[in-house]
């Protein structure tokens, strides 16, 4: 699995503020599992509008956290759902890639958050 996490942009705008980094990571950790669940549920229900909308909401967050591979993959999911792609297995497969990578990244972000919180 390709590691897809580059926090250089976050560190740059944080300008040395561990509190900003912790707050940003906390928000991402709170929102991302909810969005992933919404996308998964919508795909399984064939609710393409909700799957596309939730994918669209997740996409900029992935860019902010330096996850270009996941961002590109979730954009593919969004486009497939918007266009009413009939190949549900392709949508599920692409979403599975995103979900797998993000699961790894969420664990890594939890570790970074804990390290930063320990220093506050």
List, for residues 42-68, the tens digit of each pLDDT value: 999 999 999 999 999 999 999 999 999
Six-digit token string for 7: 């926090």
In this structure, are residues 28 and 39 in contact, taking their beta carbons and an 8 Å threshold? no
CA distance linking residue 48 with residue 105, whole number of Å: 26
Q: Tell me the C-alpha distance between 30 and 33, whole Å.
A: 7
The residues near 87 (Cβ < 8 Å, ≥ 6 apart) are: 80
pLDDT score, position 1: 43
Residue with tokens 């929102």: 31
pTM of the full structure: 0.89
């Amino acid at each position: 699995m390709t590691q897809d996490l580059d926090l250089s942009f976050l560190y740059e705008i944080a300008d040395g503020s561990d509190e900003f980094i912790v707050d940003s990571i906390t928000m991402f950790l709170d929102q991302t599992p909810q969005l992933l669940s919404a996308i998964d549920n919508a795909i399984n229900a064939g609710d393409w509008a909700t799957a596309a909308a939730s994918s669209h909401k997740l996409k900029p967050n992935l860019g902010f956290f330096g996850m270009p591979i996941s961002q590109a993959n979730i954009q593919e999911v969004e486009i497939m759902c918007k266009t009413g792609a009939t190949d549900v297995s392709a949508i599920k497969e692409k979403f599975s890639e995103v979900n797998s990578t993000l699961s790894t990244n969420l664990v890594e972000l939890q570790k970074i958050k804990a390290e930063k919180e320990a220093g506050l």
